[in-house]
Structure 1
Amino acid sequence: MATNSFCTSNHILVGLGGTGGKILKAFKMRMFEEFPTQEERSKQPVALLYVDSTDEMMSKDGRARADFRVMGQDASFTNNEFLNIKAVDVEHILDHIDHYPSVKGIVENVGAVKSAIGSLGQAAGQKRRAGRLLFAANAVGYVNSLRDAYSRCINVSGDSSETTIHIFAGLSGGTGSGSIIDAIIQTRKAFPNAYISVYAMMPEMNLPKSDMDQGRYYQNGYAALNELNALQAGAWKPQDVTGGGEADYYSDRVKGVANGLTIYSNVNENGLTINSFTELPKVISDYLFARIFFVNDSDQVNSDIVRAYKYENMDDFALEYDEAGNPDPITGRIPVARTKKVNSIGIKRVMYPELRVLKHITYTIGESVLYQFKYNNWRENQGFANEERNRDYRNDFINKENLANWMLDEEHLTLEKKILPSDNDFMAFNEYWHDKAINYAQDAKKADCPLNELDNIMGDSFANFFRDCGVENYYAGKEKAIPDMAKEIRHTVETGFFEKWKDGDISITELQKISKLLIERVSEIRTELEATTKDEIEEYKAIDEDRKANLKEWSDLGILQRMVNVGERKYARHQEYLTEFYTSKTRLVALEFAKKLAAKVFNELGKMDADISAFGMKINEAINETERLVTAQRKVNKGLEDMKGAIIEVSEDETMSEFEQELRCDKIEMPIIARQLRDCILPEEFVNFGRLAADISIDDITDAFDIKLSEIVKARHDEKADSDKKVLGLNILTQLQQKLRTDDDIKAFATKIVSQSGVFVQLNTDQIQLHLRNNEGNLSPTNPASINKKAILVSIPSPDDNPGLKKFADKLEAAFKNSFNQSTARTTITVNRKSLRKDELSIITVQYCFPIRAIDWMGDYKKRYERFLNTGNLATDQANAILLHSEGDGSQLPSLFARSDEEIKAAEEAYRAQQAAAQQPQAAQPYAQAAQPFAQPAQPQATQPYAQPQAAQPVAAPGAGTPPPPSGAAVPPPFTPPMPDPVIALYWNINGQNYGPYDWAACKQMAANKQFTEQSMVWMDGMPAWAPAGQVEILKPLFAPAMPPAMPPMPGGATPPPMPGGMPPTM
């Protein structure tokens, strides 16, 4: 089923550490599932960057990882998708700290840091400070890798106007947790206009493995959340590891450095616990996959969920102000303590598992094909059986005809017939010597004794001319080629075996049996050769006696007898004797050779048998793996009977099994399918079974299933399956309609789904409802818009122009809309009836706008964190603080939880005292003493988050309640109030970046500090364009020359009052 994509903007996924890597792995494998061709994937403007201090998730030696294979393809991370930050060792960094100026700023005491961190292995070892040091040393590399990922996206989209960067990390370890702060900062620094979303996994309350906690698991999580909160609240500016000084990248526009935080755990709000190693990364990946590819941001129906996951419409409630803070004396602004641009997510997929069904059918048929490979035992109503068939293999295969074809008969072993293709074809021994006897008979008659002459001629041929070199020389020379001949015989046998197996005529188990029987037969042949040699020796001796006797008889004949028929008969008989004599003499030499060759062949066939067994083992392993794959594709949840899981399957596995049974029992189709798979798996050229076993991997076989067999299955399904028997290409609505037969069933389904479609975090109601000082009015929990909101998007596929299905979908939509309440969170639910995913109904949930303190497990984390830092041993506590925090000891961060009542009370008392003092009349003081310096941050004010000023406090009327002057004192002249400051909202442009707005007091102080000059480019409402500050009339007093000092007082006299509206005198 083709996947439609709504991804039009650029998306970069950054995975930090093992947790981030697992999410990227799940995401990339889903990419290969949904977009199975490289052409489809290359059209998606999505890039990945995996950052870690270990390469354990990377391919080794260029070989594909089995756990990254998807339907026959390798989804492993590529080299440009990976940044290894362990290239520089932490100890080396600390020993040469001056060589790392960007790192030096985060190491106040090298000795203390080095002592605390100790030695590291292959990763950061749950030491956050070590993780940060590793990242800091490679921060430039990170930025370069990020830019490379961005370039890959731009090359696809051709549009740089919108980029979203998703950063994933677990907070419990060392690498991801230690590097997350710098990753956010450097990402914002490199991409100031990008949308940055951070996904942080909290520590599991109940660990899936007992050895996961090395003593800092929960403490790391709390420290990381504390730092993330401080960074996002603008209350902490860590060192910039790619520059100098503080990294001040807080933006008032986004109310943070990143646009927001997504925090999740392995337990959802309804108490469902999932495996954090295997299931949780897939849940996060599925959510992100839906967000990027399936939710159309431009479609109004998705607007609520889009605003929720983009943290939009939260600016008025994005920050929580310090309940123990007081207004700044100059700006009137209250410090921020916490961010509320936090959300958590969940996704529930009610789906017809088409991919699982296709895989189950594919692997089931593949298993049957492997049974053919192994046993080739067809049974009616069962198909290829998983057992061998009974057969007389010796009679059927180890016969004279096959032995001759395999060159294991005596004629080949004695080289009466050639073995090597390069050798010449020669006559049989008897034919050769018969021809010699006939051809040289006339020449021999010229001699006095033609019998001896013919014997001498043939003896000379035996010694020097047989096959051009003489019998003994020939076989002596051929002994050097015995290894090649043995291999040639093996190759002939093995190739024949392979061709029969390839054609499906014989199984690998049968080949193993035949191979062993053949070895047994060769052993018998070796014994037979010994017996034949003995018999041939006796035959040779008998023929030699006959030869000698015939020669004597001819010698005893008189001259006349020799000239008549008696002599001719003796001569003709002697030719026969010589033919038999030299044939036997040649055979004796040849038989000795044959025994040596047979011994070598025996060894070669033994090797062949071992190779066939190795290939048989490979088939067995493939069967075991396929059985595992079939099991893995079985339905693992109870469907609609248990809807707690993240994925709910609605399927009829009985119909699937019926289709599988029909296909694997098709006596015509299955052999064809088996042959097609063999052709797909096997190399073009066969060498031997050993090479075959080495070259063909289990992955090759399963890849053939995924690529070739799955296509065959789909084609056969489309040909065979009737409309009511289809198991592929089904609409989830059809499946649900079959299950939910009444209106009550539909309502119960919708209610249960919505109630269990929770986000993967649990919130503490007491913390949600907590009323805090400085957060009153619209910021208090009494305003439901200020905290804990939830958006639910239900995506339903279209009903395929089916009126009955449309009616069912209408009822389903109504049931969903009536299935939620507002008891715990302000919830909006939207039903999208235009989903393009026919096989899936999804429920995406986003709960947002709450402070981190509201997460239920945070109280427990805090206790563990505080115990870890307060052991009673100062040195231990200092070292622990270094390990937990990426910078400093944590004391520089605002409180993650609300301050104690005592702290708040003290703050209130201090504020009242300040206000009371402000209401008391003050004696005239020189301006230099009265004026307080304006604490200007390192960056322009616009980057600093502040609360709105407190309401102005009432000031007593002039003279009200003022005691009379002391007796005899000079009466001061009447008080003339100073002119009020102009009310302005001024914007300032520095190097192309706009800052502001600034009020008069801020401008005045910056002008006094020479930060704001007449040449500064400014703009405010009413100005037609940007202009130098010195040219703006209302601003000119800021740059006016200072008033000259007043005359000193006359001795004993009063000091004249200042000029009305003038500056107070300076001392």
Structure 2
Amino acid sequence: MRGDDERSLAALCADSRRLGRLLLAGAAASFTAALDRAVASLQSDAAMPLTFHIVFGLGEGPGGGLIEVVAGIRLRWRDPRRARILVYGRLPDPDGSGDDGSSNRPSNTYAALVELNALAAGELAPQDFTSGELSVESRPALSAAYLFGGTLENGQPLSDEDVLETAAQFLRQRMEIDQAEGAGRDRLRQLEGGAYGGSGPDQQIWSQIASVPLLAFGSKRLVSPDGEIREALGLSFTRAGLLHLLHNHWQDGAGFVDEPSGAPAGAALRGDVESRWLISEDHLLLSQAILPAEASDKRWQSITDEWSSIMEGFKDLARLRERGKWLDTLIALCHRRYTEDFRNVGVAEFYRSRYAEAAGMAAEVRARIERDLIEGCRTGRWSLGDLAGIVDSLIGWQEERLAGIPERIARIRRSEDETRVRIIGVCQKWASLGPFARISGKCEAVLDECAVQLHDLNVKMTRAEAWAFAGQLLPAILTELQDLKQTIEAVVLRVADVVATIDRRLDRLADVLEAEPNAYVPVVRLFNRDRLRGIAAAVLTDEREQRDHATRMRDSLFANMDSQAGFQALLDHFDGSDPLHALHAIGDSRVDDAHANHVATAGEGVLRLTVLDQIREMYGSDPLALRSFFDTVVSATHCLIELNGTASATERRSFALLPHAGKPEAFAKQVRAGIRACAGAEMTLLDTGRSPFEIGIVTIQAVPALSEVASLAAFDAAYQARLFSDTATAFYDMHTVSTATDLKPLVTQVPEHQKEMAAGFNLPHLLIGLVRGLVYDRRGGSSGTDGFLLVPKDADGFDEQPVYLGTDLFASSEALPASTVALLSANNARALSDASPAQLDDWRQGVVSLVNRTKAERGNDPTDLIYRKFVEAGKTASQMLRGERR
């Protein structure tokens, strides 16, 4: 790795094909294991033929592993008749426009094309990257190589999405052709075998060939988009059901809409909801029990009843005493009841013992509320949006209650004092009674009055303690309600996310279904767009239809949930691996019924119409329009590569993949005749038994040579510029093969460009190599051929095999292959980084001497053009030695 480069690993991968190759080699074991598993899943018999399809980006760093992948496959399945390998290389935009990745894709692409050309010609025998030892035989390891890019052969650019769509459908169509028996398969094999002239079983398409053919392809599908229409309608039903669940807001003419209905949430808190949800005042004060075990205890009474039920008994006990002690006895009995016997422990102790159970009581309150709310959601009484508002209002209500507790207790305490004053008055009245008052019955009246006041006082004192307890219970209830609110809001957000996902998919479907037919795009959709709009509007705004569907979807959604399950279970359902799948199945199940109802009333439909039905409806009554339609479609099935003009007359074949003939058969024959008439003799019609909803058109064009690719010059220019600016590492970044391999260039460089390279880079490195002793001048020697030799050093400092450069230094600089330049510059760069300042200065003086010697050899003419080149090269070498440039 370059020490001065701080780019991330991902960026290095995009820039360096060699690094991509290295990363692939690091995963060699997992790659081959996955390959073996894939083959085992396809082959029931080891003798079954295989076809390996490899799709890769020519300009990508990881695409540098193509050669190793091919070698890894071929070394396991050696017979090309039993295991075919086809590669599909995607060419990037030559100028990199619209690319989010590496700016080095064009230069990488040229390097990749050079290697692909060598691989196809059988001139490259790479080692198996899984073992590092075995090599593929010299014969071509590939069966065919397809190239495709973002521009059609007529120069029309395609979107990235259309490029991928075309490539994907071509792969499927090519496999269909290959699996068909008869002339179609034979012609495909002849194209991919490079035998363009003949046909039939006698054609030896697997004989030893000089090179693997390079091909381009075009693909078209004429479809009746039944699946897309069905999906759009099904998703629309699903969306409507979810909006009913989310808001339940119906608008005439629009259906269920994605906005709240505006109904006040507080309305749901009326009626007996307080008691049903265990949040009435009696429940908060434990006048009524909250916990199930206590609620089932028949001895449990309200606070008022607790004191009312014992007062008559207490009066009877008081009457058993002397008359003068009746009130004292009654007061004492009430005090004991309050401090010790209320619910067996006394008032204060009872409520103190319930503080520890506040969390359990709050959970019971939350469970009761949640069960009621989810049942309301299950029955359609409330939407999820209503529920969030209800809980929010409920929280606000309880917060107000909690805030008012101190004032409530203070009022009760003030009222207690008033009651105590009345009791004192009763006691004073009792003390003033004379002997005749007892005879007249006034004692009983005063006793009854005292009992009433004592009952009132003890109820108030108990309620004061109870409100103090409520001040501890309400925060626990609020905590549960906040959590419930968050869970409901999470469900609301998740359902809204699912609706948004549906909306995005519907937008995409709308883009393709609303678009008018275009013969130049990969998929030409044939159907009546106005009719689809009408049917969609009718069924999606039918309130009875949509409410019935919403009920069914809601029932299905809750069907598998436990009756005691809460909103977390609902959230878990929507957070599942594919929550939309089951919901869409429900919506999709309604499409056929709704469509059938519409057909019954309106007499027209858009589903279950084959592609022949659609073509017949659009063009069946006008033979000239039908012929014009097929002429346009077939002629617009262009290959995804722009070739130079000389390639237009080369071998080309077209295939039409047709479904089985439908009814009426006469029109199916008319379609076949129209396609054949438009395409001529090179069109092969295949009855593939494919879906009745589509017709496929495929064009395959032979590329006579890579030099015919229109963008090759731009790729080469980027390659040369990158090599010129950074030869020390650019060769290694762009290529995956060894520097010792001489690669055949695809573009012959003009002499002026070679001289520019020599003066600008090659010659400076040769000068540095000479002063370092890396380049050896053997002119005038006693043995061997005169000339210059490059003698690189290995890691231990020993001389490696010399590379002969030529007899003239400047001529040698012009003729240096890229691999030799890379070797020379890499050795120089390593030496310069390790040298001392004194050594660098010595080398710089040596470069000056070499330039001066050249002047003498050129007749001491300071204007000599070659000498001037050496001067410029010497200046560049001096800058490199001073560290001013690379």
Above 0.5 in TM-score? yes
Q: Secondary structure at the match of 1:760?
A: coil
Matching residue's letter, 1:287: F
Q: Aligned partners of 1:444 and 1:179: how far apart in 2?
A: 105
Correspondence for 1:384 = 256
Correspondence for 1:725 = 604
Q: Aligned partners of 2:56 and 2:306: how far apart in 1?
A: 86
Aligned match of 1:800 in 652, 656, 662? Answer: 662
Task: Give the conservation status (yes or no) of the 8 Å contact 1:308–1:791.
Answer: no
Give 1:559 deviation, angstroms: 5.8
Q: Secondary structure at the match of 2:279?
A: coil
Task: Give the conservation status (yes or no) of the 8 Å contact 2:213–2:703.
Answer: yes
Give 1:563 deviation, angstroms: 6.0
Task: Give the conservation status (yes or no) of the 8 Å contact 1:681–1:696.
Answer: no
Task: Give the conservation status (yes or no) of the 8 Å contact 1:167–1:198.
Answer: yes
Give 1:476 deviation, angstroms: 1.4
Matching residue's letter, 2:731: A
Give 1:427 deviation, angstroms: 0.7
Change (3 A) 1:811 1:843: same
Give 1:170 deviation, angstroms: 0.8
Aligned match of 2:693 in 839, 842, 848? Answer: 839
Give 1:437 deviation, angstroms: 1.8
As a proportion of its length, which structure holds more helix?
2
Give 1:470 deviation, angstroms: 0.6
Residue 239 of structure 2 is aligned to residue 401 of structure 1: no
Q: Aligned partners of 2:138 and 2:605: how far apart in 1?
A: 56
Q: Aligned partners of 2:179 and 2:96: how far apart in 1?
A: 37
Correspondence for 1:270 = 154
Matching residue's letter, 1:402: V
Residue 631 of structure 2 is aligned to residue 735 of structure 1: no
Q: Aligned partners of 2:544 and 2:515: how far apart in 1?
A: 36
Give 1:284 deviation, angstroms: 1.6
Q: Aligned partners of 1:243 and 1:599: how far apart in 2?
A: 69
Give 1:637 deviation, angstroms: 7.2
Residue 746 of structure 2 is aligned to residue 896 of structure 1: yes
Q: Aligned partners of 2:672 and 2:696: how far apart in 1?
A: 13
Change (3 A) 1:602 1:297: closer
Give 1:493 deviation, angstroms: 2.7
Give 1:615 deviation, angstroms: 3.5
Q: Aligned partners of 1:715 and 1:249: how far apart in 2?
A: 62
Change (3 A) 1:304 1:720: farther
Residue 883 of structure 2 is aligned to residue 883 of structure 1: no
**Once the two structures are superposed, what CA deviation does each residue of 1:270-310 show, in whole Å capped at 9, x if it has no partner?**
3332233x332332221112233x44634325335532564
Q: Secondary structure at the match of 2:638?
A: coil
Task: Give the conservation status (yes or no) of the 8 Å contact 1:767–1:854.
Answer: yes
Residue 672 of structure 2 is aligned to residue 813 of structure 1: yes
Q: Describe how 1:167-178 pairs up with structure 2 within 5 A.
A: 167-176=54-63, 178=64
Correspondence for 2:362 = 486
Correspondence for 1:287 = 170
Q: Aligned partners of 2:333 and 2:514: how far apart in 1?
A: 95
Task: Give the conservation status (yes or no) of the 8 Å contact 2:331–2:454.
Answer: yes
Q: How many residues are paired up?
A: 730
Give 1:531 deviation, angstroms: 5.2
Structure 1 residue runs without a partner (length 5+): 1-90, 92-113, 318-335, 770-787, 822-826, 902-1067
Correspondence for 1:313 = 195
Task: Give the conservation status (yes or no) of the 8 Å contact 1:757–1:845.
Answer: yes
Aligned match of 2:347 in 471, 474, 499? Answer: 471
Comparing 473-482 and 633-642, the one that deviates more: 633-642
Residue 84 of structure 2 is aligned to residue 195 of structure 1: yes
**Once the two structures are superposed, what CA deviation does each residue of 1:437-475 show, in whole Å capped at 9, x if it has no partner?**
223433333323132223212211211111121100111
Q: Describe how 1:637-1036 pairs up with structure 2 within 5 A.
A: 641-681=517-557, 684-685=561-562, 689=567, 692-693=570-571, 696-697=574-575, 700-718=578-596, 721-722=599-600, 725-740=604-619, 741-766=621-646, 788-802=650-664, 806-820=665-679, 828-833=682-687, 835-848=689-702, 850-871=704-725, 876-889=726-739, 892-896=742-746
Matching residue's letter, 2:148: Y
Task: Give the conservation status (yes or no) of the 8 Å contact 1:189–1:249.
Answer: no
**Once the two structures are superposed, what CA deviation does each residue of 1:14-54 show, in whole Å capped at 9, x if it has no partner?**
xxxxxxxxxxxxxxxxxxxxxxxxxxxxxxxxxxxxxxxxx
Give 1:189 deviation, angstroms: 0.3
Matching residue's letter, 1:186: G
Change (3 A) 1:383 1:699: farther
Q: Describe how 1:517-666 pairs up with structure 2 within 5 A.
A: 517-526=393-402, 529-530=405-406, 532-558=408-434, 561-562=437-438, 565-602=441-478, 604-636=480-512, 641-666=517-542
Amino-acid identity (%): 20
Correspondence for 1:37 = none
Aligned match of 2:236 in 351, 364, 388? Answer: 364
Q: Describe how 1:99-138 pairs up with structure 2 within 5 A.
A: 121-122=9-10, 124-138=13-27
Correspondence for 2:304 = 430
Q: Secondary structure at the match of 1:339?
A: coil
**Once the two structures are superposed, what CA deviation does each residue of 1:405-443 show, in whole Å capped at 9, x if it has no partner?**
222221111110012223354111222222222234333
Q: Aligned partners of 1:675 and 1:700: how far apart in 2?
A: 21
Task: Give the conservation status (yes or no) of the 8 Å contact 2:224–2:525.
Answer: yes
Task: Give the conservation status (yes or no) of the 8 Å contact 1:512–1:609.
Answer: yes
Q: Aligned partners of 2:4 and 2:677: how far apart in 1?
A: 57
| Structure 2 length-normalised TM | 0.75
Q: Secondary structure at the match of 1:832?
A: strand
**Once the two structures are superposed, what CA deviation does each residue of 1:1016-1040 show, in whole Å capped at 9, x if it has no partner?**
xxxxxxxxxxxxxxxxxxxxxxxxx
Q: Aligned partners of 1:604 and 1:310: how far apart in 2?
A: 70
Give 1:173 deviation, angstroms: 1.4
Q: Secondary structure at the match of 1:628?
A: helix
Q: Secondary structure at the match of 1:418?
A: coil
Give 1:622 deviation, angstroms: 3.5
Task: Give the conservation status (yes or no) of the 8 Å contact 1:342–1:851.
Answer: yes
Matching residue's letter, 1:439: G
Structure 2 residue runs without a partner (length 5+): 200-207, 752-886
| Structure 1 length-normalised TM | 0.63
Correspondence for 1:990 = none
Residue 403 of structure 2 is aligned to residue 515 of structure 1: no
Change (3 A) 1:706 1:208: farther
Residue 83 of structure 2 is aligned to residue 209 of structure 1: no
Q: Secondary structure at the match of 2:75?
A: helix
Give 1:206 deviation, angstroms: 4.6
Q: Aligned partners of 1:724 and 1:693: how far apart in 2?
A: 42
Change (3 A) 1:475 1:120: closer
Task: Give the conservation status (yes or no) of the 8 Å contact 1:732–1:839.
Answer: yes
Q: Aligned partners of 1:593 and 1:144: how far apart in 2?
A: 68
Change (3 A) 1:152 1:462: same
Comparing 260-269 and 669-678, the one that deviates more: 669-678
Matching residue's letter, 2:146: T
Task: Give the conservation status (yes or no) of the 8 Å contact 1:361–1:713.
Answer: yes
